[in-house]
Amino acid sequence: AQTVTQSQPEMSVQEAETVTLSCTYDTSENNYYLFWYKQPPSRQMILVIRQEAYKQQNATENRFSVNFQKAAKSFSLKISDSQLGDTAMYFCAFLSSGTYKYIFGTGTRLKVLA
Amino acid sequence: GAVVSQHPSWVICKSGTSVKIECRSLDFQATTMFWYRQFPKQSLMLMATSNEGSKATYEQGVEKDKFLINHASLTLSTLTVTSAHPEDSSFYICSARDQTLNTEAFFGQGTRLTVV
């Protein structure tokens, strides 16, 4: 069974600084997807970034980038130039290309400080 | 991007009554829909998966007679919490995907259920 582990329950970062959120996962599959979702106080799940396992190049979306280490089963999220609006719960998620079921990590609560 | 609309956003019901939550895909055909439950400060836990026209597949530990799921059309799935009790109070989120497009699922905005 797949598992997703986020070892940082809470983190804080100063506005304009950079922060990295950690995520590790376990799977025996070779083809899968990894995601970072943001959940602000509204509870709406917002896709931050996605990574296909077959792609070696790390995904980037503006201020958000990932460090995908397939062999190590690690998928960290780097947020550059942190903004107050980045304050939210962040979930790392694994998506099986077979079942298309998401497995979510326990989340990291990020607070950006002014 | 694909839009999934969930209704209502919040609902309060009396203990013992049933409440229905709707999940609609607005601009794509949702061949598969997923229902999640999220307790405060916790992660999303998958409750069940439903394919259009088929019976839902429930995750282990989820009572299928308690949480009735109907996916009668390609744009609508409903979750009915029957004989609700205070312990059923939670945040319920649906997601939907088009299997033919081989994409990830898209999430609704969630429904906060409070049973009093």
Per-residue pLDDT of chain B (116 residues; tens, 9 = 90+): 689 999 999 999 999 999 999 999 998 899 899 999 998 888 999 999 998 888 899 999 999 999 999 998 999 999 999 999 999 999 999 999 887 776 788 999 999 999 99
Chain B residues touching residue A42 (CB < 8 angstroms): 109
d(CA A47, CA A65): 13
Which amino acid belongs to residue A55?
A: K
A91:B95 CB<8 A = no
Would you state the pLDDT for residue A24? 98
A39 Cα distance to chain centroid: 11
| B99 vs A54, residue with greater confidence | A54
Structure tokens at A79: 């947020």
- Tokens representing residue A12 in the block: 């804080």
Whether A111 and A14 have beta carbons less than 8 Å apart is answered as no
Kindly list the residues from chain A whose CB atom is less than 8 angstroms away from the CB atom of residue B96.
none
CA–CA gap between residue A4 and residue B43 (Å, rounded): 11
Name the closest residue on chain A to residue B90, using Cα atoms.
A43
Q: Please, which pLDDT band fits residue A2 given cuts at 50, 70 and 90?
A: confident
Q: Which of A29, A24, A33 is nearest to A77 (CA)?
A: A24
Chain A closest-CA separation from residue B30 CA (Å):
13
Question: Phi and psi (nearest 5°) for B57?
Answer: -105, 120
Instruction: Flag whether pLDDT at A52 surpasses 70.
Output: yes
Q: How far apart are CA A47 and CA A35, in angstroms?
A: 7
Q: Per-residue DSSP letters for A17-35?
A: --EEE--EEE-S-SSEEEE
The rounded distance, in Å, linking the Cα atoms of B69 and A6 is 31
Find the mean pLDDT for residues A87-107.
Answer: 92
Q: Check residue B17 and give its pLDDT.
A: 97
Q: What DSSP element (H or E) covers B19?
A: strand B19-25
Q: Fill in the amino acid letter for A94.
A: F
| pLDDT at residue B1, as a whole number | 67
